[in-house]
Amino acid sequence: MNIRAAFAELYGYEPQGIWSAPGRVNLIGEHTDYNQGFVFPLAIDRRARIAAAARPDGVLRLATTAPGSDRAHIKVAELAPGRLAGWSRYLAGVHWAFGLRGAAVPGMDMLLDSDVPVGAGLSSSAAVECAAALAVRELSGADLPDEELVLLCQQAENEFAGAPTGILDQSASLLSEAGQALFLDCRSRESRLVPLDLAGQGMSLLVIDTKVSHAHDSGGYAERRSDCERAAGALGVESLREVTLPDLVLAAPQLDQLAYRRARHVVSENARVLTAVAHLESGRPIRALGQVLASSHESLRDDFEVSSPELDLAVETATAAGAAGARMTGGGFGGSAIALVDAREAGQVGAAVVRAFGRAGYTAPDIFAVEPGAGAHRDH
């Protein structure tokens, strides 16, 4: 849609700018970010866009193009966790986090338009936060680099929106570049771009949105984070990042079975991230990532227990139909799976998954290919 025209129709004047930020697919590295581990996401070519303009009266007016959504209206000085609910808290939380850093945040009119599917595990909330952060940074004159915006948006999601996520989503949205995946060390926050030329190698990355909505602020995600912290404490380390698989096997008697399985996923997933990055940086074919994806899904399903029947069916069917590898992506409990396929076979793999969902009586999934997209930027 023409978000500039929609803003003008809604508020009666032109916006000062339009900023956008992408959703993301996490190629590998699930539930490792809040354990100070490694992740390997890529921005996708679906984005949240925000048209915005500053107001002189300190009032924040928020609206979205999503059908049936309410508008929000609050003074910037009155922002606090718990004051807003629903979609608007992701925008307002960014304003609040800027204020905590001493920025002189003006009132603003903002309009959000997004084609990142909500609840699909593609980080729609981080896309909104990162687009808002670019708008607020520019309109407030705050001198904050992108790396600081990552932490600011994470704080907004954790403390204002109430979702205990790590820095994976915001880093992917702010720091990615087209044609690249982002290798990120969540302890040091160092990152580097790794070429991911899917089309050049005749490959396609399919997203299979199961239409089973998930939310990071629900209990299951927080429970997994607590399980990991408990395992790290029993092992006498600050985070599971410090543990290797041989260490974990030797220390197994110190852990109950649940904590052991949670830790085994995180430790093995860190190793899978390093393997995937090494594969690509050494020039091995992208297809070689297939087994790494498959192993990740098994671990998420069995040790971390964040998959779902729909996700499992998507992965199993895509693999049987010829995918090089597939796995759930995102926090789990619903959302999306990804399948790495030969581009010529993408149609047949997608069709096989749709048929399998129909036979199982599940809602038909949305299936679409994604390319490594550009990071957050000012559009106009």
Cβ proximity of 177 and 193 under 8 Å: yes
169 is catalytic: yes
Of residues 275, 346, 374, the one with CA closest to residue 49: 374
- Determine the Cα–Cα distance for residues 331 and 360; give it in Å rounded to an integer: 23
Q: Which of 33, 109, 169, 209 is catalytic?
A: 169
Catalytic residues: 169
